Amino acid sequence: MAELSGKSIIGFQQGGGEASIFGINPATGEKLQPGYAAASGAEMDRAVDLAAESAASFGKSTGADRAAFLRKIADNIEAIIDDLAALAPQETGLPEGRIRMETGRTCGQLRLFATVAEEGSWVDARIDHADPDRAPVPKPDTRSMERPLGPVAVFCASNFPIAFSVAGGDTAAALAAGCPVIVKAHHSHPGTAELVGQAVIAAVKDCGLPEGTFSLLYGPGREIGQALVQHPSIKAAGFTGSRAGGQALMKLAADRPEPIPFYAEMSSINPVFILPEALAKRGEALATGLHGSLTLGVGQFCTNPGLTIAANDASLEPFVSKLAELVGGSPGATMLNPGISDAYDSGANTLGGNNTVDIVAQGESGEGQCQARAALFRTTADAFLADESLGAELFGPSTLVVTHDGTDKMLALARSLEGQLTSTVHGTDADLEANRELLDVLETRAGRVLINGFPTGVEVCHSMVHGGPFPATSDGRSTSVGTNAIHRFTRAVCYQSFPDTLLPAELQEANPLGIRRMVDGVTS
């Protein structure tokens, strides 16, 4: 196991301070060593100052340089996969196999962004040549491309200690774009964060990049996290967490003297609509698939199917019975931390205690602490439409089945939904053809619409949209997974009448990088 320091990483230096933050093994309550010291205000300032100083040179590094850096990070992380697989399960209760898979995903994601940076066309280079003879006024030469915003703050998520944390999607996207990154570690997995942080800062050194390219800070979110978002040199931030936490930071970002883009992924109940013929023809398989999806990762996925909508017809009861049987037989499982476990228990109690809601089934109780019991709830469309508390996210292994009496009520339900990361429809060809309006409505409510699948499992690829209208995220124009995430951290700059030698290579007349460009309106 690599040595853990229990300190923040401030560029090439180690932070100071006394240990005050301890990982907790959620299953046993054991306090894990080493403890971590909270970064001081001065340490945070130094990390941000270093990032600001490095922003110009890192922002001008070539795509090839950044690709080599991202690949080096991936190599360094793979080199410690056994350490991660040993430590992260202790900190998070997640099984070793999941940590190995998540580490692989994270390295694949870093390498995918490397190919994007290296290929270079992502900058959307556009050239409009001058026309000195145009009347009544000559046309100037203008050229534009995406440029990095500057230092970015990234908040680690509790539920993906590798893939949405220190070297996760936002970090990969920001580094690929040419933005220095300052990560705020999550208190739930401080050691895992340090292991990955060491891998990243080693890559910074290996690649000869400026010191401020990366820092990792520990500390209470309300202090260090809020201060980071408010720091004048931070130009954008990415966050994955609760709706309350995300909204508090959104407000801070918007209320700054200079407001900044703030990307929070917050709250989604990921409705699954099951259409009648599909329910009749394959209700049992749907119950099995849904159960697998809602219990995956102890239900601690942003895309957990928390809402299941089906018509109250003859096919419903066999489906619900099968799902109840599966949920009832689900073993107890360890949640990420006591806060999440308490919130799930409390939310499940509240939902189950609502007098319009039936508790159809509950899973087994596990042994040890932070054990989640899977749960299946049921209510009617009328009750759901009348009580918006039934649409609140319950983060954990549960779903609420909402029954309706026909298309109009189903559409009313769809229209009542807040913004979602995903919406899913199960249907036969005939079902789908008869319910195009449902698909049209869901497209306006979600970043990703799935047919005959389950929302858990978010593919890392070019066409992924892991985002969605508020409150799923703070900014539905953006994605936190997939290569389009690079645009979170950039803005276009137009260069007018620049001599060729002063232009970025991407915009020079001879196209030395050989990237795809739009020239006088024609892309090639």
| Residues recognised as catalytic | 265, 302
Residue 189 neighbours by CB distance under 10 Å: 29
Query: What is the chain's Cα-based Rg?
Result: 25
Closer of 64 and 451 to a copy of itself (Cβ): 451
- Identify the helix (H) or strand (E) that includes residue 146: strand 142-148
Min dist CB 292 to a copy of itself, Å, is 11
Closer of 207 and 518 to a copy of itself (Cβ): 518
Min dist CB 251 to a copy of itself, Å, is 8
Strand partners, 146: 492
Closer of 66 and 517 to a copy of itself (Cβ): 517
- Identify the helix (H) or strand (E) that includes residue 379: strand 375-380
Closer of 18 and 433 to a copy of itself (Cβ): 433
Burial class (CB in 10 A: 0-12, 13-18, 19+), 512: exposed
CA distance 115 to 68: 10
Query: Checking DSSP bridges between strand 358-362 and strand 375-380, what pairing results, if any?
Result: antiparallel
Min dist CB 423 to a copy of itself, Å, is 10
Amino acid present at 79: A
CA distance 83 to 98: 14
Q: Give me the phi and psi of 9, to 5 degrees please.
A: -110, 110
CA distance 166 to 182: 9
Closer of 162 and 320 to a copy of itself (Cβ): 162
Nearest to 171 by CA among 98, 247, 73: 73
- Ranges of beta strands (E only) in 439-512 are 446-451, 490-496
Burial class (CB in 10 A: 0-12, 13-18, 19+), 429: exposed
CA distance 408 to 218: 51
Closer of 26 and 419 to a copy of itself (Cβ): 419
Min dist CB 199 to a copy of itself, Å, is 24
Min dist CB 254 to a copy of itself, Å, is 4
Min dist CB 213 to a copy of itself, Å, is 17
Closer of 196 and 449 to a copy of itself (Cβ): 449
CA distance 297 to 345: 16
Min dist CB 239 to a copy of itself, Å, is 15
